[in-house]
């Protein structure tokens, strides 16, 4: 069974009675499998961001079905969507979105804190992940004391803290130099080998080609869906 499955997924912005309605997604059918890396590409306005928002349960589709694991996400209420986001989805952002007042370990603990996870368990999980991304020696530092690449590695560790089904990365190398971006992609390779499903929205061709599969959108529809290797 796919990790995530879209069936005739549509998203229309604008009131049904309005003369101005934007068809952002037009009946997408996509399966995302376990332990694969997928790049979502397309020009501005193609539907990339809308698709990412729906996959991340930040918005609801207008029509169609979105199943994440064994759950039909389209039928969930706001509280249930929030719970799914916290427990099944890991987010990695271009701008890192770390809390500047907190240490690296404390930043990693934040998602677990909001789920009521005991302090000792939070600290133990955060310690394991900060070591996974090679930043144990920086655990007590704050984000401002880290390079951009190190901050992105923290963001990756934070995305893993809840052992999510899906990892969604929005332009994850956009603010990084070439060498640091390549290092982040190697971490993604390692995560995929560990069984994680990673979906990357990117406009960078080399990042897209590093993924196993590239889905290109145009005007809210799938233009191509091809494997790279």
Instruction: Give the mean pLDDT of the chain.
Output: 93
Q: How far is CA 19 from the centre of its chain?
A: 34
| DSSP bridge pairs for 221 | 218
pLDDT over 70 for what percent of the chain? Answer: 100
Model pLDDT, residue 193? 94
Cα 146-56-69 angle, rounded to 5 deg: 120
pLDDT at 16 over 90: no
pLDDT at residue 64 in the model: 95
pTM (2 decimals)?
A: 0.93
SS3 of the chain: the string is CCCEEEEEEEEEECCCCCCCCEEEEEEEEEEECCCCEEEEECCCCCCHHHHHHHHCCCCCCCEEEEEECCEEHHHCCHHHHHHHHHHHEEEECCCCCCCCCCCHHHHHHHHHHHCCCCHHHHHHHHHHHHHHCCCHHHCCCCHHHCCHHHHHHHHHHHHHCCCCCEEEEECCCCCCCHHHHHHHHHHHHHHHHCCCEEEEECCCHHHHHHCCEEEEEECCEEEEEEECC
Q: Is the pLDDT of residue 19 over 80?
A: no
Task: Check residue 1 and give its pLDDT.
Answer: 85
CA–CA distance, 153 with 99 (Å, rounded to integer): 14
Across the range 10-21, mean pLDDT stands at: 83
**What is the distance between the alpha carbons of residues 220 and 40, in angstroms, rounded to a whole number?**
12
pLDDT at 33 over 90: yes
- Among 107, 84, 113, smallest CA distance to 157 is for 107
Q: Which residues contact 79 (CB under 8 A, 6 or more apart)?
A: none
Q: What is the pLDDT of residue 114?
A: 86
Q: Give me the mean pLDDT over the 145-172 stretch.
A: 94
Domain residues of the chain, as ranges? 35-59+84-227
pLDDT band, residue 4 (cuts 50/70/90) = very high
pLDDT tier at 74, thresholds 50, 70, 90: confident
Provide, rounded to the nearest whole percent, the portion of the chain with pLDDT above 90: 84
- Banded model confidence at residue 10, pLDDT cuts 50, 70, 90: very high
- The CATH number given to 35-59+84-227 is 3.40.50.300
pLDDT of 180-197, one tens digit each? 999 999 999 999 999 999
């Amino acid at each position: 069974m796919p990790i995530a499955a879209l069936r005739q997924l549509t998203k229309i912005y604008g009131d049904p009675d309005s003369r101005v309605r934007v068809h952002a997604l037009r009946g997408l059918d996509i399966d995302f499998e376990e332990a694969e890396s997928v790049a979502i590409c397309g020009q501005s306005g193609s539907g990339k961001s809308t698709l990412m928002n729906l996959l991340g349960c930040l918005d609801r589709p207008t029509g169609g079905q979105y199943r994440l694991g064994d759950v039909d996400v389209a039928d969930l209420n706001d509280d249930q969507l929030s719970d799914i986001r916290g427990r099944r989805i890991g987010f990695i952002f271009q701008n890192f979105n770390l809390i500047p007042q907190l240490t690296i370990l404390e930043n990693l603990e934040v998602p677990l804190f909001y789920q009521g996870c005991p302090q000792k368990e939070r600290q133990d999980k955060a310690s394991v992940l900060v070591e996974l991304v090679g930043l144990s020696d920086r655990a007590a530092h704050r984000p401002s004391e880290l390079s951009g690449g190190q901050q992105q590695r923290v963001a990756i560790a934070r995305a893993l803290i809840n052992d999510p089904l899906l990892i969604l990365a929005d332009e994850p190398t956009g603010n990084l130099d070439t060498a640091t971006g390549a290092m982040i992609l190697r971490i993604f390779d390692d995560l995929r080998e560990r069984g994680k499903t990673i979906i990357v929205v990117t406009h960078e061709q080399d990042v897209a080609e590093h993924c196993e599969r590239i889905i290109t959108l145009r005007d809210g529809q799938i233009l191509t869906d091809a494997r790279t290797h």
